[in-house]
């Protein structure tokens, strides 16, 4: 990922806005069963003409198999294309959940640390997610039940058309550009935590300023993860939790777990402490990838030797 134009955020968002809006309208009016063949054709187009993304997914699947520990083997026929289909399903799920077609009754929640009961009580916390599965399910249901006000730190310019579709579907998105964090934004985040709101950030997306990364071992090879979540946690002084939501048939498995009651570092220990927490996150992400291998939706070269 050394070339300037190879960074994920530098890639132009694919998909014509009118076509995306038409597909979303059809999904609302006609239902998923009717729209599914169209979605499959669209996915086939991106699969056929996205050689770089195909190679990235193939590299991920290869490393996942070589690392071992898969709960079930990858599909023998067209495993890369099957991952594209899983991504299309996740996109439709995002539209469905904001329209109330996915409810709490369809969730299987694993919450050994009782994090759900802490939401809406006391000072806010940080949720570190990933591009595994579909965190939009959790966020939408939290909003609809009134249990939590969640602020998502994203680089939403990268998917402005799809984010607009979610907003039109009733999402009421509260997104904060992570590429524009400054003293004023940090103060705003601290005030949100003081009001009991929570922050969510992805831990597996390399930031725009590529030097703010840390090397980790992920599925048997060196990859670079952002320092942002762990720097943010230390500056804001709040607990850090992990959140995963993956599709299991017609249901969704939500896993919430405490990573740290508080991440602290000094100027002298910052780099090592951040590296330690990033590695712990990478280990947990790898474990969940083994449970849902087709649902890690990272379509960019990820490992150090993939570029």
Distance between CA atoms of 149 and 139, rounded to whole angstroms?
9
Give the separation between CA 93 and CA 79, rounded to whole angstroms: 21
pLDDT of residue 33 exceeding 80: no
Residue, of 179 and 282, whose pLDDT is higher? 282
Q: Looking at residue 166, what is its pLDDT?
A: 47
Alpha carbon 282 to its chain centroid, in Å, reads 13
Sequence-distant (≥ 6) Cβ neighbours of residue 292 within 8 angstroms:
132, 133, 246, 247, 248, 253
Report pLDDT digits (tens) over 5-31.
444 334 444 444 555 566 666 666 766
Q: What is the pLDDT of residue 119?
A: 87
Q: How far, in Å, CA of 248 to CA of 110, rounded?
A: 14
Rounded to an integer, what distance in angstroms lies between the CA atom of residue 55 and that of residue 306?
9
In 3D space, the residue among 195, 116, 186 whose CA is nearest the CA of residue 153 turns out to be: 186
184-211 exposure pattern, b = at least 16 Cβ within 10 A, e = fewer: eeeeebbebbeeebbbbbbbbbbbeeee
Q: How many other β-carbons are positioned within 10 Å of the β-carbon of residue 244?
A: 25
pTM for the structure as a whole: 0.85
Mean pLDDT throughout 85-93? Answer: 89
- CATH code for the structural domain at 4-295: 3.40.1130
Domain boundaries, the chain: 4-295
pLDDT at 178: 62
What would the pLDDT profile of 118-164 be if each residue is shown by its tens digit?
988 889 999 999 999 988 888 777 766 676 788 888 765 544 444 45
The Cα 69–Cα 73 span in angstroms is: 10
Give percent of the chain above pLDDT 90: 49
Residue-wise pLDDT for 231-285, tens only, equals: 999 999 999 999 999 999 999 999 999 999 999 888 899 999 999 999 999 999 9
Greatest alpha-carbon span in the chain: 59
């Amino acid at each position: 990922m050394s070339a300037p134009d190879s960074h994920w955020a530098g890639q132009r968002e694919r998909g014509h806005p009118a076509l995306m809006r038409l597909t979303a309208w059809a999904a609302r009016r006609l239902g998923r069963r009717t729209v599914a063949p169209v979605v499959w054709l669209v996915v086939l187009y991106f699969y056929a003409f996205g050689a770089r993304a195909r190679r990235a997914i193939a590299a991920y699947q290869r490393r996942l198999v070589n690392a071992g520990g898969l709960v079930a083997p990858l599909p023998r026929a067209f495993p890369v294309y099957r991952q594209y289909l899983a991504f299309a399903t996740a996109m439709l799920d995002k539209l469905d959940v904001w329209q109330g077609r996915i409810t709490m009754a369809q969730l299987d929640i694993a919450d050994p640390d009782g994090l759900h009961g802490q939401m809406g009580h006391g000072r806010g916390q940080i949720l570190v997610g990933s591009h595994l599965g579909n965190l939009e399910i959790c966020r939408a249901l939290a909003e609809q039940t009134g249990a939590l006000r969640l602020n998502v730190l994203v680089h939403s310019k990268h998917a402005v058309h799809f984010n607009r579709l979610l907003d039109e579907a009733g999402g009421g998105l509260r997104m904060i550009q992570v590429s524009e964090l400054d003293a004023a934004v940090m103060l705003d985040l601290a005030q949100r935590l003081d009001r009991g709101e929570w922050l969510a950030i992805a831990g597996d997306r390399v930031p725009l300023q590529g030097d703010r990364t840390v090397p980790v071992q992920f599925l048997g090879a060196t990859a670079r993860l952002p320092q942002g979540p762990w720097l943010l946690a230390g500056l804001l002084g709040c607990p850090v939790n992990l959140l995963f939501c993956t599709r299991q048939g017609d249901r969704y498995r939500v896993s919430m777990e405490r990573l740290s009651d508080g991440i602290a570092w000094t100027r002298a220990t910052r780099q090592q402490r951040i590296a330690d927490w990033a590695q712990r996150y990478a280990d947990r992400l790898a474990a969940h990838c083994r449970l849902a291998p087709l649902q890690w939706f990272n379509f960019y070269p990820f490992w150090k030797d993939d570029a």
